[in-house]
Structure 1
Amino acid sequence: MARKKIILTHIVFWTLFILLGIIMNVALHNNMHITWQAFWKDFTDPFTPIGYGRTIVVCYLSLYIFGLLISRKKYAIAAASVILMIGFDVSLRFLIEQKFVGPVFDKWQFPDGIAFGQYFAENVFFSAMGIFICFLLKIIDDMYRNEVIEKEKNAMELQFLKSQINPHFLFNTFNNLYGLSLSDPQKTPDAILKLSEMMRYMLYESNVEKVSLQKEVTYLQHMISLQELRYDDQTYINFDISGNLENYSIAPLLLISFVENAFKHGDVMDKKEPLIISIKLKDGKLVFNLRNKISYKNKDHVGGIGLQNVKRRLDLLYHNSYELDIKNDNVIFESSLTVNLN
């Protein structure tokens, strides 16, 4: 796609370059008066394809030599090469126009027998301008290539961040299953079934750029059910959902870290301070709020990657289309995320 973009840009660039060049030439030779007849006469003049063909060849030759020298960090020689290419372009034009086209076709841009020094003085500015304008192509090419590199870098980073979620989640879940198997073995099969459903979502349904918001919320509900088994259903959780979720999509596995963090570091067994999860959708904006009491009994001394992961993914995926506010007063932890899904 990037290569096609660059090729198309070059075609458009040269088309405009030639058309504007012909228009300027006609205007300069006709007291700034431009007519279709004058334009067509200049367009079909044999000097036109020969002249612009030479310019294009010299341009790409200049860019190649300049790029080669710059890549080898020979900056002074690279600058000198541009000056030499301007001289080469004028000399080549002199040979083509005055030594070939003129004598062979009896068509002269300048009088027959004009001294090379005078010819050089009258044409060096136009050759220099043509070559320097050609460097616009290099700037455009670099912009496209940098854009592609940045996209590939972001895609690789996103894939890495996403790959971290599964091991991170599994590490915590298997710890929970181990504890459940010791405290209440009869509930372990149900927990494994819930885990199986979540694994299917992670492995087969979340390997896309966007998923249905409804599927993502269902995934969170499965996770909460799995966590409730761990606490022998003695949890206090208010999970409120409002709005039509089916009509919108979201990056997969984006909200799990917030909920997982609440179970990992929060107290979900306090009736006075229940875990509050709110998902509201209005006018294409998702508002996700979570509030939980902090439990220092559940403090994970190893640490985690959850919220750091989700912040980086939000930056890459939604850039300026989201707001994240996190408050922690060492008693209550609150997170509020607003994402523009449009």
Structure 2
Amino acid sequence: MTFAHFFRRRAVRHGIVWLLVFGICEVLSPPSQGSHLKVFGRQYSLALLSVTALAIYVHYWLLTHLLEQRRYALYAVATVATLLAGGALLLLVEHVDEVNFVHFRMSDAKAPVSWAFRLGEGAGNVLFGLIMATIARYVRRGIVSHFQMQKMRALQLETELSLLKAQVNQHFLFNTLNNLYGLSLAAPDQMPEALLQLAGLMRYQLDSSRQSAVTVGTEAEYLANYIGLEKLRLRHNTQVEFTVDLPRPEQPLAPLLLLPLVENCFKHAIGPSGENTIHIHLTQSDVGLTLRTGNSIPPHFRATPSGLGLPTLRARLAQYYPGKRHRLDIKATDTFYATNLQLVL
């Protein structure tokens, strides 16, 4: 059994705490009996701590089974009974042997003290212990709950990110298969090359989906391969401009984060007649990464519902680059569609 497993046992933890409390009582004990608060002597410590410990564990049971179950009246009665029983035990111990505990009167008072007052003194000592133990219980519970909530939140985020990655993979494959179908009708001789490029893209998809981050350079290379695959099916009336300026390609980046905006360019810009233009610019600075895309919109184009593309992108941006670490601007007119994504890496 390791020390960590040994320490997790409740009896061991509580035993260590009581030893610390006993040591503190010994350190704080006044050197003489002249103090107004008579806190001294090993007999005192053992007697008072034993009775108080018993009352504390009884009170813990009351908290769990009465107070936290909203049985307030029964809890109040049981707590008062516990205090009186603890005071009576201390009074009994003091009659058996001279054991001093915290007194609520002047030490030089010579007037006789009734048993009821001494019972109240004992109950007051026990009440102080209950208050301190209850505060410690709920402070510890609050700390444990805080860390548990953090752990649950981290697991939730990890699950959400896994689902989002799965959605990205399915969305990409669906669009690419549609593109290959169009290519098989328009230029079947280019299908072997397209299938090889698709295999490379899917391999990258599978590898990156297992990682929390890739590099800016590998993501740019992936985009270049994707654009090359898309260009195989384009008509001669479509011009594609793709530029990359990455002075630090080794910087980490969330995988498959740029693809949805590039996909939209090819989804919206393809028209049977007229000039179609697509502009994709990926630049890197000391601050972060910027992806600017723009594409013409053919006449009589009717946009279909966005589906998973942009909603998934916004969700992943919020997860990977929350708050001011990202900015996504979209401008759409009847003839042109432009996006500007800025990331603080």
Q: Fold match, TM over 0.5?
A: yes
Cα offsets for 1:79-114 (capped at 9, x unmatched): 4566456436534643664445x5677533168984
- Code of the aligned partner of 1:322: R
Answer whether contact 1:267 1:292 (CA < 8 A) is retained: no
Per the alignment, do residues 301 and 117 of structure 1 end up closer, same or farther by CA in structure 2, a change over 3 Å counting? same
Cross-structure match for 2:87: 94
Answer whether contact 1:86 1:128 (CA < 8 A) is retained: no
Answer whether contact 1:235 1:270 (CA < 8 A) is retained: no
Cα offsets for 1:235-263 (capped at 9, x unmatched): 322322232111x1111111111111121
Per the alignment, do residues 53 and 122 of structure 1 end up closer, same or farther by CA in structure 2, a change over 3 Å counting? closer
Q: Calculate the TM-score normalised by the size of structure 2.
A: 0.73
Structure 2 unaligned blocks of 5 or more: 104-112
Cross-structure match for 1:142: 145
Q: Equivalent pairs: percent with the same residue?
A: 24
Cross-structure match for 2:99: 107
Cα offsets for 1:284-319 (capped at 9, x unmatched): x22222222234666453542111101111112221
**Alpha-carbon distance, 1:176 to partner:** 0.5
Per the alignment, do residues 203 and 89 of structure 1 end up closer, same or farther by CA in structure 2, a change over 3 Å counting? farther
Question: Separation in 1 of the partners of 2:302 and 2:31?
Answer: 83
Of structures 1 and 2, the larger Rg is shown by 2
Answer whether contact 1:236 1:271 (CA < 8 A) is retained: no
- Code of the aligned partner of 1:196: A
Cα offsets for 1:8-62 (capped at 9, x unmatched): xxx7xx969x67x948x939999xx9xxxxx9988x9435864775576457545
Question: Separation in 1 of the partners of 2:281 and 2:262?
Answer: 8
Per the alignment, do residues 243 and 313 of structure 1 end up closer, same or farther by CA in structure 2, a change over 3 Å counting? same
Cross-structure match for 1:235: 239
DSSP-derived class of the 2:266 partner: helix
Question: Separation in 2 of the partners of 1:46 and 1:99?
Answer: 14
> 5 Å matches for 1:25-40?
26=28
The one of 319, 333, 338 equivalent to 2:337 is: 333
Question: Separation in 1 of the partners of 2:99 and 2:40?
Answer: 17
- Code of the aligned partner of 1:292: N
1:185 matches 2:178: no
Answer whether contact 1:62 1:82 (CA < 8 A) is retained: yes
Per the alignment, do residues 99 and 340 of structure 1 end up closer, same or farther by CA in structure 2, a change over 3 Å counting? farther
Cross-structure match for 2:295: 292
Q: Calculate the TM-score normalised by the size of structure 1.
A: 0.74
- Code of the aligned partner of 2:182: G
DSSP-derived class of the 1:254 partner: coil
Question: Separation in 1 of the partners of 2:341 and 2:99?
Answer: 73
- Code of the aligned partner of 2:101: Q
Question: Separation in 1 of the partners of 2:131 and 2:343?
Answer: 51
DSSP-derived class of the 2:239 partner: coil
Answer whether contact 2:279 2:293 (CA < 8 A) is retained: yes
Answer whether contact 1:277 1:291 (CA < 8 A) is retained: no
- Code of the aligned partner of 2:340: S
Question: Separation in 2 of the partners of 1:253 and 1:222?
Answer: 13
DSSP-derived class of the 1:198 partner: helix
1:221 matches 2:229: no
**Alpha-carbon distance, 1:117 to partner:** 3.8
Question: Separation in 1 of the partners of 2:252 and 2:67?
Answer: 44
